[in-house]
Chain A
Amino acid sequence: MLISDRRIQVVTLLWQLYKSRRLALQGGASWSRCRVHTKLAMLLFSLSATVSAGEFDYSTRDLLDLSLEELASLEISSVSKKPEKLSSVAASVFVITADDIRRSGAVSLPEALRLAPNLQVARIDASRYAISARGFNSTAANKLQVLIDGRIAYTPLFSGVFWDAQDVVLADVERIEVVSGPAAVIWGSNAVNGVINVITRGAAASRGDLLVLGAGNLEQQLVVRHGGALAAGGDYRVYAKLFNGEESQFADGAAAGDDWHRAQLGFRVDMEVAGQLTLQGDVYDGREQQLDADNIEIQGVNLLSRWQSELENNSRLQLQAYYDHTERDQPGVFAETLDILDLELQQQIELGAAHDIVWGVNYRAAWDDVSSSPVLAFLPARRKLEWSSLFVRDEISLQENLRLSLGVRLEYNTYTHLEVMPNVRLAWEVTADNLLWASAAQALRSPSRLDRDAFAPREDPRLLGGPEFESERLNSVEAGYRGLLLPNLTCSVTAFYHQYDDIRSLEPVGSGQLVFANGLEADSYGLEFWGEYQPRAHWRLSAGGTLLREDVRMKAGSADLNGGRGEVNDPSHQWFLRSSMDLGDNFQLDLSLRHVAQLATFAVPAYNSFDANFAWYPTDGTRVSLSMRNLFDSQRPEFGNAVMRSEIERSVYVQLSQKF
């Protein structure tokens, strides 16, 4: 299927290969293959390989007595995972690299996500964002799976992400994989419209000390990180991050009173223990002001452990467990404490030459306790939700350049019980550098607490969660091309058609009440495209965008309060152009122009954002950057109703980053 296993992180390799193509054009170099001799060597040593069947057990001293040919023919299981090329991933995947993030001047995770052409990212106010892929964006967008180092970031309260509670040290992010389109087999039931997978560097890659000090008119931050080697073997890092966000303002320039601040501490340890063992955790606390109520308070602690190991017979095993505790108190609305436990076992195994199988089991439990307010209640206030799932995916090599992938996930959840999510993908490598792929999938969003258990207001409610609310469903077909059009021009195009059923509606029932139900259906189709052109070794141009059409309809019998318009607030198109230039050895200049079409539902006008980022490396390990965003406008709205919506101001931000 797509990223054959999110933990095996094939995409890294793909991306490296992809990047290498960019560089390849600089030298105009030619590679010649030395196949003949290799085959000969393999023939000569195939006998010993069969006898030893798997890993050799020579000591290093013994190895020195072998010839180079003999060394090259020895089998070691830990490198059995064959690298794949980016052009072989049969999905619409965009990878935001660490370099992209650095050069963009992004200060927060949601701002970094603006780099992905296949996401809709709209800032709501100082601390809140609406982020989705392939539409259905809202303040409570609920069809995206978001993971940070394998930990699911969306809350079962409304199946969306509280972006103010999710933070990472951007300097330690290795890459962000953004998949648009359903990917439920590998990633779970919320991966309806896409997946965001934030992956931080291993601890070995963040040794030494780092200080980041940044200040601008919209935000200030201080990051201190220390990394080193453990006496017992392995590496660690610890970090602290303080962040302060200034308040946004309304259209008339009045202050929105939503300034906020946040502190976060965290660590990560990686060590080799018969494989790779990772322990990591974060603890954070934040305060967000409100105009007419007490501060919102958020707090959380999470702890994750993961062990990956190579087994015999080209198989790979992963065990992961994490605990995630979050607290959120929104005075006047609700207060929630939530404990999540997640356990997963995953194995990848190659059967014969033709079958590459990934299977896994996952158990996830969430205990929450939601205190109600006069405005909103969740009843019962305490609830335990569980999700158990089993998934398997077989990637079959039909021919050398044709792969068929069959996958299915079975999930049992507290609300709707058994759900089935199948997926078929086909990848055809037309040439080594050009791939055509197609996919048909069913995915679903299982009900959240909001859909089932909400009551507003608490007394004599007018809006009620639907006791019968079922999963929202998607049938999708998509097809794409990715490859090298010229030696220095890469490109990706995806066309998709989504057919949704049982989308959430608000149905009036007798006595003036409204109930959440599955009264809507929808079609959407569109194009996603991006490419990179590197005219010079020191100059890269990139462009990308999406076209999106959505048609939401009320099903027979539905009398949705919003007439089907409550769930979609998306631009019909958006695009960006970006130039990344190295000016000599010590300077970098990045310019980008981003266009987002109007949001018809809210009457948010179309906007162009011109951003510039200038970086200077005065000495080794020092980086000084100046980021300017939204240079065209003094401020602009990106989301929400014209009444009382915040606008995003022009920003100027200076940052010093120093490695020791």
Chain B
Amino acid sequence: MYNYRRNFKPMLERILFAISARGRPRLLEWLLVSLLLVPAVTAVAASGTDATAATRLKAAFLYKFCIYVEWPAASFADASAPLVIGVAAEKRVAGELEQVVVGRRINGREVQVRRIKSGDDIDGIHLLFLGQAALAAEPDWWSRVQNKPVLVVADSAAELTPGIGINFVPEDARLRFDVDLVVAAEQGLSISSQLLLVARRIRKVE
């Protein structure tokens, strides 16, 4: 059975010893370390721009979606309450959005960006962007937005993942999106036909 002192303490000590320095590294060890750094160094050398084109494009789409979606009046505290975009697991997209929403209004409302972590309260959010990591970490996000007026936008989620209103889909080097009107209808959201015209695929209410 479990015996910390007999079984595990010596092991942990050996592990710590193994990763602590054992004298001067030999040539081979230096070589190994430098080779391991090759991918990292290449990556840094190749980096330049901050946000990738895809990040900027996603941010732009999210903002645009807010223009073409109508939320029930009850989802706003009052006529001047802000429209809130929640972004989960996509810090760069959130960063881009935060910069561009400053001073912009949609239907007279200010636009706010809120960064969401798994488990955070999502009350008051109108559009929720779930990065792939967020969806992977918490596949049942949908249960938290079910029948609430929250448009969930996902990034390359599996088709018909529950609760996803709009799904970004890469297609031929372009970023397209699918719209699920069944989900939108359940949530009391109304999506303009202008947005539907650009959608790649639409799931319609039967």
Which residues of A approach B to under 8 Å, CB–CB? 13, 16-17, 19-21, 23-24, 27-34, 37-38, 41, 55-61, 63-64, 66, 68-69, 71-83, 174, 201-202, 204-208, 220, 229, 233, 235, 242, 244, 246, 261-263, 265, 272-275, 277, 279, 283-287, 299, 301, 303-307, 309, 314, 319-323, 339, 341, 343, 620-621
> Which residue on B lies nearest to A367, using beta carbons?
B28
Chain A residues with Cβ under 8 A from B99's Cβ?
Answer: 60-61
Segment of B5-13, B77-85, B121-129 engaged in the interface with chain A? B5-13
> Which residue on B lies nearest to A99, using beta carbons?
B139
Question: Is B40 in the interface zone, CB < 8 Å from A?
Answer: yes
Chain A min CB distance to B106 (Å): 11
In the assembled complex, 5 residue pairs joining A and B whose CB atoms fall closer than 8 Å, in A order, are A30-B203, A34-B197, A68-B195, A76-B52, A319-B39
> Which residue on B lies nearest to A271, using beta carbons?
B43
Chain B residues with Cβ under 8 A from A20's Cβ?
Answer: 158-161
Chain B residues with Cβ under 8 A from A78's Cβ?
Answer: 52-54
B40-65 interface with A by 8 A CB criterion: 40, 42-44, 46-48, 51-54, 56-57, 59-61, 63-64
Q: How far is the CA of A47 from the CA of B43 in the complex (A)?
A: 33
Chain A min CB distance to B137 (Å): 5
Chain A min CB distance to B70 (Å): 16
> Which residue on B lies nearest to A75, using beta carbons?
B173
Q: Are B195 and A77 in contact (CB-based, < 8 A)?
A: no
Question: Is B92 in the interface zone, CB < 8 Å from A?
Answer: yes
Q: Are A207 and B137 in contact (CB-based, < 8 A)?
A: yes
Q: How far is the CA of A241 from the CA of B20 in the complex (A)?
A: 19
Q: Are B36 and A284 in contact (CB-based, < 8 A)?
A: no
Q: Are A301 and B19 in contact (CB-based, < 8 A)?
A: yes
Q: How far is the CA of A621 from the CA of B144 in the complex (A)?
A: 14
Q: Are B201 and A63 in contact (CB-based, < 8 A)?
A: no
Chain B residues with Cβ under 8 A from A174's Cβ?
Answer: 136
Chain A min CB distance to B141 (Å): 12
A-B complex: 8 closest residue pairs judged by Cβ atoms: A79-B170, A204-B133, A63-B60, A274-B47, A16-B158, A307-B39, A20-B159, A274-B46
Q: Are B53 and A30 in contact (CB-based, < 8 A)?
A: no
Question: Is B119 in the interface zone, CB < 8 Å from A?
Answer: yes
Q: Are B170 and A81 in contact (CB-based, < 8 A)?
A: yes
Whether A71 contacts B43 in the complex (CB less than 8 A), given A37-B197, A321-B35, comes out as no
The dominant DSSP class at the B interface is helix
Extra 4 A-B pairs, beta carbons < 8 Å, given A27-B182, A306-B39: A78-B54, A204-B133, A244-B1, A286-B11
> Which residue on A lies nearest to B144, using beta carbons?
A620
Among the listed A72, A244, A283, which residue makes an inter-chain contact with B2, where contact means beta carbons less than 8 Å apart?
A244
Chain B residues with Cβ under 8 A from A275's Cβ?
Answer: 43, 46
Count how many pairs of residues, one from A and one from B, have CB atoms less than 8 Å apart in the complex. Answer: 239
Chain B min CB distance to A437 (Å): 23
Chain A residues with Cβ under 8 A from B46's Cβ?
Answer: 273-275, 309
Per-residue CB contact flags for chain B residues 142-177 toward chain A (1 = under 8 Å, else 0) read: 000000000000001111111000000111111111
Whether A321 contacts B39 in the complex (CB less than 8 A), given A71-B64, A76-B53, comes out as yes
Q: Are B7 and A287 in contact (CB-based, < 8 A)?
A: yes
Q: Are B196 and A34 in contact (CB-based, < 8 A)?
A: yes
Q: Are B174 and A34 in contact (CB-based, < 8 A)?
A: no
Chain B min CB distance to A99 (Å): 8
Per-residue CB contact flags for chain B residues 1-36 toward chain A (1 = under 8 Å, else 0) read: 110000110011011001100000000100010011
Q: Are A279 and B92 in contact (CB-based, < 8 A)?
A: no
Chain B residues with Cβ under 8 A from A75's Cβ?
Answer: 173-174
Chain A residues with Cβ under 8 A from B117's Cβ?
Answer: 207-208
Q: How far is the CA of A621 from the CA of B138 in the complex (A)?
A: 10
Among the listed A59, A81, A274, A321, which residue makes an inter-chain contact with B56, where contact means beta carbons less than 8 Å apart?
A59
Among the listed A30, A33, A265, A307, which residue makes an inter-chain contact with B43, where contact means beta carbons less than 8 Å apart?
A307
Question: Is B110 in the interface zone, CB < 8 Å from A?
Answer: no
Q: How far is the CA of A332 from the CA of B92 in the complex (A)?
A: 57
Q: Are A205 and B137 in contact (CB-based, < 8 A)?
A: yes
Q: Are A64 and B60 in contact (CB-based, < 8 A)?
A: yes
Q: How far is the CA of A174 from the CA of B135 in the complex (A)?
A: 12
B interface bracket (residues with beta carbon within 8 Å of A)? 35 or more
Q: How far is the CA of A223 from the CA of B60 in the complex (A)?
A: 41
Chain A min CB distance to B57 (Å): 6
Q: Are A319 and B38 in contact (CB-based, < 8 A)?
A: yes
Q: Are B57 and A76 in contact (CB-based, < 8 A)?
A: yes
Chain A residues with Cβ under 8 A from B196's Cβ?
Answer: 34
Q: Are A621 and B119 in contact (CB-based, < 8 A)?
A: yes
Whether A263 contacts B64 in the complex (CB less than 8 A), given A29-B182, A31-B203, A321-B36, comes out as no
> Which residue on B lies nearest to A45, using beta carbons?
B174
> Which residue on A lies nearest to B180, using beta carbons?
A29
Q: Are A233 and B91 in contact (CB-based, < 8 A)?
A: yes
Chain B min CB distance to A266 (Å): 11
Q: How far is the CA of A30 from the CA of B119 in the complex (A)?
A: 33
Among the listed A17, A29, A299, which residue makes an inter-chain contact with B14, where contact means beta carbons less than 8 Å apart?
A299
Among the listed B15, B133, B175, which residue makes an inter-chain contact with A72, where contact means beta carbons less than 8 Å apart?
B175
Among the listed B35, B40, B44, B63, which residue makes an inter-chain contact with A341, where contact means beta carbons less than 8 Å apart?
B35
Chain A residues with Cβ under 8 A from B160's Cβ?
Answer: 20, 23-24, 27, 29
Q: Are A220 and B2 in contact (CB-based, < 8 A)?
A: yes
Among the listed A202, A314, A343, which residue makes an inter-chain contact with B133, where contact means beta carbons less than 8 Å apart?
A202
Chain B residues with Cβ under 8 A from A27's Cβ?
Answer: 160, 182
Q: Are B175 and A74 in contact (CB-based, < 8 A)?
A: yes
Q: How far is the CA of A289 from the CA of B64 in the complex (A)?
A: 64
Q: Are A30 and B206 in contact (CB-based, < 8 A)?
A: yes
Chain B min CB distance to A612 (Å): 24
Chain A min CB distance to B46 (Å): 4
Among the listed B11, B47, B60, B64, which residue makes an inter-chain contact with A261, where contact means beta carbons less than 8 Å apart?
B11
Q: Are A34 and B200 in contact (CB-based, < 8 A)?
A: yes
Among the listed A58, A64, A73, A306, which residue makes an inter-chain contact with B64, where contact means beta carbons less than 8 Å apart?
A64
Q: Are B206 and A82 in contact (CB-based, < 8 A)?
A: no
Q: Are B201 and A307 in contact (CB-based, < 8 A)?
A: no
Q: Are A274 and B159 in contact (CB-based, < 8 A)?
A: no
Q: How far is the CA of A283 from the CA of B14 in the complex (A)?
A: 10
Q: How far is the CA of A64 from the CA of B64 in the complex (A)?
A: 7
Chain A residues with Cβ under 8 A from B52's Cβ?
Answer: 76, 78, 272
B74-117 interface with A by 8 A CB criterion: 89, 91-92, 96-97, 99-100, 104, 117
Chain A min CB distance to B166 (Å): 12
Among the listed A23, A63, A83, which residue makes an inter-chain contact with B161, where contact means beta carbons less than 8 Å apart?
A23
Chain B residues with Cβ under 8 A from A28's Cβ?
Answer: 206
Chain A residues with Cβ under 8 A from B37's Cβ?
Answer: 305
Q: How far is the CA of A25 from the CA of B90 in the complex (A)?
A: 31
Chain A residues with Cβ under 8 A from B18's Cβ?
Answer: 283, 285, 299, 301
Q: How far is the CA of A64 from the CA of B57 in the complex (A)?
A: 9
Q: How far is the CA of A13 from the CA of B172 in the complex (A)?
A: 15
Q: Are A34 and B202 in contact (CB-based, < 8 A)?
A: yes
Chain B residues with Cβ under 8 A from A305's Cβ?
Answer: 36-40
Chain A residues with Cβ under 8 A from B54's Cβ?
Answer: 76, 78-79
Q: Quick one: which of A68, A206, A263, A286 has the most chain B CB within 10 A?
A: A68
Q: Quick one: which of A59, A79, A275 has the most chain B CB within 10 A?
A: A79
Chain A residues with Cβ under 8 A from B44's Cβ?
Answer: 273-274
Q: Are B40 and A277 in contact (CB-based, < 8 A)?
A: yes
Whether A80 contacts B173 in the complex (CB less than 8 A), given A30-B204, A263-B15, A621-B119, comes out as yes
Q: How far is the CA of A33 from the CA of B197 in the complex (A)?
A: 11
